[in-house]
Structures are given as C-alpha cells and as structure tokens.
Amino acid sequence: MTAHSRDTPQFYLTAPSPCPYLKGQFERKVFTHLVGENAAHLNDLLTHGGFRRSQTIAYRPACESCRACVSVRVRVDDFVWTKAFRRNRAINADLVGADVGANPTSEQYSLFRAYLDHRHSDGGMADMTVLDYASMVEDSHVRTRLTEYRRRGPDTAINGRGAGPLHAVALVDRLSDGLSLVYSFYDPEQRDRGLGTHVILDHVQRAKALGLPYLYLGYWVSGSNKMDYKRRFRPQEHLSPIGWTLLND
C-alpha cells in the first residue's frame, strides 16, 4: 500500500445526488481535505482553480452532464457603484462591520437559525445545531474570520465596533489575491435594508483597503434564480476552460 503524506492532497468524487439549484439535474463533486501546514496555501491554489471551502473540505462541481456552475470573482479596483448600490450603502450607513476573528457565539447562531428557517428551510444546512455552527467556523486550517454587523454605538469611534443586536454576519477567507465570502447570513425581517447586498459591498471595500484585487463570490449557476444576484457586481471574471475571463455581457 502506498503511503501518502498528510500534506499531499488526495482527491475524491462524490456519488450523484439531486442538484439543489436546477430541477431534474444531479450533482457530483470532487473534493479534498484542507489539513496540515500547507492548508492555507492549498486553499489559495484551489480557490483560484474554482474550488470552494466548507470547514476542512475544498470542493468543486464535477457533474457529468451539466456545466452550469461557474466560479465568479469581482474586480474590486474597478468596481462599478451603481445607483442601486449607492442607495444600499446610504440605507445601511448606520451599520458597522467588525472583525471578530474565528469566534462563534450563541448570538450568531440565533441569527443563523432565523435566517435558515426563513430563507433556506429545505436546504442542506437546515438541520445544523449550535455545535455544527461552531464547527463550521472553528474547524479550519486556513486564514478565516467573521465580520459582525451592528448599529453604530457611542463607542464606535473608539473601538471600531457597533452596539446592540446583530444584523448580519459573514465568514470570510483571506487569500493571497483577495477575500473569499464563504458564507453570510442576516436578519430576514429587515428586508428593506438589502443586507445580503450590503455584506458584499462592504467586502468589496475591505478587499480594496487591503490592497487585494479580487472578491470571490463562489458559484453563479446559469438558470438558477437563487444565484442570479451575483451578476450585478461588476466588473467580474468567470472561470472558464481557458482561465479567468472578463464577463462582457
């Protein structure tokens, strides 16, 4: 039997299962484990190649009859601030995003639970417990952080943090050339704020402030209404068989 190094990635293929985005389609994924001292570097390389991270797993679609899932990243230096985006920023000007490290809390889980129950009650994460949530945040060998969004408070100018209840949370990986939004959730009752859009816009600005050229948004799925919102953030590049190419339509 051949012995493999812990730092040498081994890739596996899942069995077919119903696609969560396109009715009548079946998905398969190729995946590997992100463990050991080279996990952050491997996550970097795999993200550039169209993989996404979930805890200590990096995966990408490997469907036999469908190529609808396309990796998307936004060019932050040339980002187009549309009238709708500027309006969103004005509506949420009272919110402050604070980096709280990879530290899950019961308050975050309560918001996470409310978001899932309202928006994704039939999704793959619907049964996640508070321990599952903590594992999603903490079970990682890569550079990952949480951003919490709260209203501005009396001490915001001093500590850079808001006060009061949570409005939104984002789990974000730091890559060599950008930030990767792993998962985000928000108060589903505050529909008028457009909090999902706000989180993306805020991380466009955060990536630019860090001197990073890209914000990775995961997969856009052609034919899926759930994923169509990602096309609004321009300019953006899609990963194709010839590499990352600028979307022109």
User: Where do you find CATH 3.40.630.30 in the chain?
Assistant: 73-246
pTM, rounded to two decimals = 0.91
pLDDT confidence of residue 1: 38
Residue type, 61: P
pLDDT confidence of residue 125: 72
Number of H helices, E strands in the chain: 6, 14
Alpha-carbon span 97 to 152, nearest angstrom: 9
Q: What average pLDDT values come out for the chain (249 residues) when binned by 10 residues?
A: 59 93 92 91 95 93 92 97 98 96 96 87 73 91 95 86 93 97 95 96 98 97 88 96 90
pLDDT confidence of residue 120: 62
pLDDT confidence of residue 121: 55
Nearest to 161 by CA among 147, 173, 171, 174: 147
pLDDT confidence of residue 6: 54
pLDDT confidence of residue 124: 63
pLDDT confidence of residue 130: 92
Cβ atoms within 10 Å of 132's Cβ, excluding its own:
14
Provide the angle, in degrees to the nearest 10, between the axes of the packed helices 83-91 and 195-209: 100
Domain 73-246 has CATH 3.40.630.30: yes
Provide the angle, in degrees to the nearest 10, between the axes of the packed helices 106-119 and 130-138: 110
Three-class secondary structure of residue 118 per DSSP: helix
